[in-house]
A = this chain, B = another copy of it.
Amino acid sequence: MHLHRDLIVSTAVALLNEYGLADTTMRRVATTLSVAPGALYWHINNKQALIAAIADYIVGPVLDAPATDATELSRRLRQRLLAFRDGAEVVSAGLSQVDNPTWWRLVEHVEQSLAASVECAAVPESLRAAATALIHLTVGATTFEQSRGQLAAFAAAAPPAEPAEPADAALADAAEPATSELERAVAFIIRGLQSTTVEDYARK
């Protein structure tokens, strides 16, 4: 088997979904691929680099899609985070790493979406602040939602004789309010940016 970076990342993503972030270790990735841990380090330096690579994998499709309106972009990001176990936590940890290029690509993508969502041309500084706020809000809210969902599933799984359906049903029920809650939150940021823009415009 030829060891390459994509194979390491896809293996790590599979382990993430099975074991969660804390137990997705470099050692476990190496064992799963039947290579010595040292063989990984040539491609990925350490656990932090692995987390950054998984975060890229999760966020990638959001960046590759054409820029859309900001509400839709937030919705897509949330969906990608929810599609992976501990997805919100991984992306938060990965994007927070200093000078992560994916962070800056995401900020620019959100800036474009926000610029298309407000009526007047926003000043660049406001646009940057609103884009950062939208990302922190989306990742923060989804971290709560995912943590709550995983805890509920864990609690439902605890009594051994219980069928699995109630937990799934509860998660499905919870999904809708969370979407609209996040959308309302994003709407505040867009309106806030809009009103900032209008004032800046009036000041000229």
Contact = CB atoms under 8 A, between A and B. Distances in A.
Nearest to A158: B46
Interface in A121-161: 129-130, 132-133, 136-141, 143-145, 147-148, 151-152
Interface of A: 22, 48, 89, 92-93, 95-98, 129-130, 132-133, 136-141, 143-145, 147-148, 151-152, 181, 184-185, 187-196
A148 B97 contact: yes
B181 A192 contact: no
Given A132-B185, A185-B136, A148 B195 contact: no
B151 A48 contact: yes
Nearest to A183: B129
Instruction: Tell me the number of copies of this protein.
Output: 2
Nearest to A192: B188
Contacts of A145: 96
Nearest to A141: B136
A185 B133 contact: yes
Given A139-B140, A195-B195, 19 more contacts: A22-B22, A92-B144, A93-B147, A95-B144, A96-B148, A98-B151, A129-B181, A132-B181, A133-B141, A133-B184, A133-B185, A136-B185, A140-B140, A187-B192, A188-B193, A188-B196, A189-B189, A191-B191, A191-B192
A93 B140 CA distance: 11
Contacts of A191: 191-192, 195-196
A67 B185 CA distance: 22
Nearest to A143: B92
A137 B147 contact: no
Shortest beta-carbon contacts, A-B, top 8: A140-B140, A188-B192, A133-B185, A192-B192, A191-B192, A136-B141, A96-B147, A129-B184
